[in-house]
Every structure is written in C-alpha cells, then in structure tokens.
Structure 1
C-alpha cells in the first residue's frame, strides 16, 4: 500500500515531540504539507528542523501558541483557516491520587485534552464537509477504556475524547469526512520517557528496568510486553489520514499492544 497525501494540508497539535512529532513526520513523508504546533517557538523550530532532516523535501511550517486556551485556538485558525487533515494529539498527563486532584486540575486537563480538539474540530470540520473530504483524529488512549486509578482525571478526559469523536462522526455522516479515535497503549513518548527516567534516577536502576516493572505491575495484560514506539502509533494515524481509510469512521482504533482485554 502506498499512501499519497500530496496536495493535502495536515495540522497536528502538540507535535513538537513524542507521538505528535512522529505523526507529523509520517504525514510529511507521505507528501502532506504539515503544520506543526507547540507552546513555544523554540520547540516548534526544533521540531521543524528534525522533520526536515528526517524527511527530504518535507513541506512543513509551524505555529507557536497554547492550544489549551480559546485564544490559542483562535490564533491557529487565523493563521491556517482550512485544513484537510486534523490530528488532535495535544494532551497532558500526570499520575496523582484521586483525592489529591483539585478542581483546577480537573478543569486544566479538560481544557487541554478535550476542549482543544473540540474547538479546532468545530471550525475545521465545517470546511472539510463543504469540500467533501477530510480526516479528523483524536489521539485518545487505552486509559479511556480502562481508567487508571493513578490518574483518574487523565483517563476521564480520554473517555471524553472517544465520545466527542463518535458524536462528530455521526454529525458528519455522508459528507466524505471521517472521524476516528486512536487508542495508544503505554508508549515511549517524551513525557513517559522523562517520567520513567526520573523514577530510574531515584531508584538507581536503569530506565529499561523501570519500563519492564511498569508493564508487569500496571499493564500486565499487555501482549507485546513492552512500550510501543511513537512510530508504531504514528503508522496507524497516517493510514487513517489516507484515502485508503475512507470506510473507517466513528471508530476507536487500538494500537495498545493488546492491553485492553477485548475482542472488539
């Protein structure tokens, strides 16, 4: 299968590192003009340089801003009024006991993880529908299906993304616009790597040891018995952005290493 996304514009939120950067690179390698987004211009510039190095002749540009706010979303929309592909990847996570999560943290997680995608999808989906073609993705998580007790607020926002994704797909029925959610499992992203690295330093063990212990203790149902790579997650995103995925919509597609014990 050869995926061709020439003459398509793609916006990937939270794409200066980790899964988002891998998705942006994959879309650029397939010919799309990719808009990278991040909180700071320095991070955006570094990501653009990385993609340019890895993908010869990549068509990429960048927008810096806080997409977890209404103002940030409006800034992006003003700079890039239309897109063919929107990947709502922006997200934050933080292990914290339920009884220690204040209202402010709940609201911050919903603003960043849920409303950022809602705001952008509300705008860009209308243009896609008028043109008769579009791809919208929400990067959710297996934590949206199996809420992790160590970060209930995060899992709840990921469940909300599944609901928004399916509801928007229903709204856009028959328009040629597909909407899907992707459910990664434990993935060796920048944030996870930093978190595990801190634990490794505190315990004076290797990061590989921490990763193995995490899988064995917290995700024992994993069938691959390891963290996924960001590229493995990005491969699914690039496929769902393609013309070949035109019959896949309203779906929650897992790339979780078999963590979720379900045959559907």
Structure 2
C-alpha cells in the first residue's frame, strides 16, 4: 500500500486524507455499510464496524484489511446508542448508515411500524450525532454523514414509511450543518438509489419473482439512467470522498448517487 494519504481505492488513486482519523459506520456488517467500512479502511482510517450481532460484527471485521475493530450494539434503541457511545466515545467520522425498509400499502401500515422505522432510520443518527458532533466541534474537525436515499425526494408508493424517514434525515442533516457552521465540522446526506445489497436482492424477489435485476429496473425503477442497480462500492466511494479533507467545502448538502433515478434537478 502506498504511504501517506494517497492510496489505491478499488483501482483508482484517491487522495483521501483519512490517515489518523477514526470512523464509525453503523449497520456495517453487510451492504452499503460494509462497503463503506472497507473503503474507509483502505483510505487509511481506523474503522469501527457496528451491527446488532457480535458474530456478524466479528465476521465483518475479519474480512476488512486495515485498522478495524467492532462493537455489537442495536442503535435503533436509545440503550443501544448509549452502549456504542460508551464503547467508542470519540470518532472523527460518523456515518449514520443503519436503515430498514420494506414494501407495505401505505394505508395499512400500523402506528408501531411508522414508529419503528422512525426510531431506526432517523433517531439512531440523531442520537449518535447529538453525542459526536459537539465533540468534533471541540476538536475543530469532523464529518457527519447521513445515508439517506433517493426515496427522500422520489417517494416510492410501496414504501411511504421508508421515504418519510429518508426525507426526515435530509432536514436533520441540514439543520445540524447550520448549527456547526464555521467550526471545521461538516454534516451531509448521501442519497443512494436502488443498490444491489442482500436485502435488496430479497426485495427484488418479492417484487418481480425470478425476473431479477433487469426486470426490477424495467418495471419498478424505469427512471434509473444507469440501466442497472448501483453497487455498494459505488455508494461507498462517494461517502469516502465526503468523509475526507477533499470535501472541506461541502456541508449541508444532499448528494445523489442514485444512478439518475430521481427525475429532479435539485438535489
């Protein structure tokens, strides 16, 4: 591996500036979170992997080369956040990636599900950011990133409760960015489109049966300009950039890595 901040990231020379930084990625035992943990480690950061199961955390840590450790904690609850904060009280980069999704007719979603989605997808990031962002401000540098979704601006009819949480993340991230203005700490949202993770593979089977990725894109995501689903590493590349010194002038932003799915100009 190259010395200094210039490193090879999936075959591309990437000036990351993450050497000496510690990064926490929630929900990072698979999918986008795992790819992000890998990318940040390759960029020189010390990475903290998080998931609910100790076995899955240990398995993920073992797969990532670099300075990596893990904490098992369910951050969809206040108690889980408290446990994670107790184990890792100070980080330089916080990636609020934990999220759940499912398809459900909007008028059939019970209150408990609306609340479960909000607690998991929104409050996990709110609670962790409330702890870490002020401490980053004290140190004069930090990155907080909310992994939102193109569903925040292009709400899917079959997942309104999911879309609601992703829109909420945009408001939280923007408001927090305003609160830490001028401190050296940035807060941003990254908006992936449909990404080929294990959870999405199961979702595709539920929606289009044996039709697979191509049929899902054709029938369910026809505005996806890539013509295919996004890969987790492609999302991780943007998150890694936003985590770095290169993104020092980017804050309060909603950054799309959706393959052109959302037919809007802004964000």
**Which of the five TM-score ranges fits, normalised by the shorter chain?**
over 0.9
Consecutive unaligned residues of structure 1, counting only runs of 5 or more, are none
Consecutive unaligned residues of structure 2, counting only runs of 5 or more, are 1-13
Q: What CA deviation, in whole Å up to 9, does each residue of 1:179-202 have, x standing for no partner?
A: 0000000100121022224566xx
Q: How many residues align?
A: 253
In structure 2, the residue corresponding to 1:169 is in which secondary structure? helix
TM-score, normalised via structure 2 length: 0.92
TM-score, normalised via structure 1 length: 0.93
Aligned equivalents of 1:217, 1:76: Cα separation in 2? 41
Aligned equivalents of 2:91, 2:39: Cα separation in 1? 17
CA contact (8 A) 1:199 1:210 kept: no
Matches within 5 A, 1:157-236: 157-197=165-205, 203=209, 205=210, 209-236=211-238
CA contact (8 A) 1:14 1:20 kept: yes
In structure 2, the residue corresponding to 1:150 is in which secondary structure? helix
Partner of 2:97: 89
From 242, 245, 248, the equivalent of 1:246 is: 248
Q: What CA deviation, in whole Å up to 9, does each residue of 1:45-102 have, x standing for no partner?
A: 1101111xxx3xx001100011000000000111111110000000000101112210
How far apart are residue 4 of structure 1 and its match?
Answer: 2.8
Q: What CA deviation, in whole Å up to 9, does each residue of 1:135-166 have, x standing for no partner?
A: 00000000010111101000000000000000
Partner of 1:115: 123
How far apart are residue 220 of structure 1 and its match?
Answer: 1.1
> Are 1:64 and 2:72 counterparts?
yes
Aligned equivalents of 2:122, 2:113: Cα separation in 1? 13
RMSD: 1.1
> Are 1:30 and 2:38 counterparts?
no
Q: What CA deviation, in whole Å up to 9, does each residue of 1:172-227 have, x standing for no partner?
A: 10010000000000100121022224566xx4x3xxx3222221122111110110
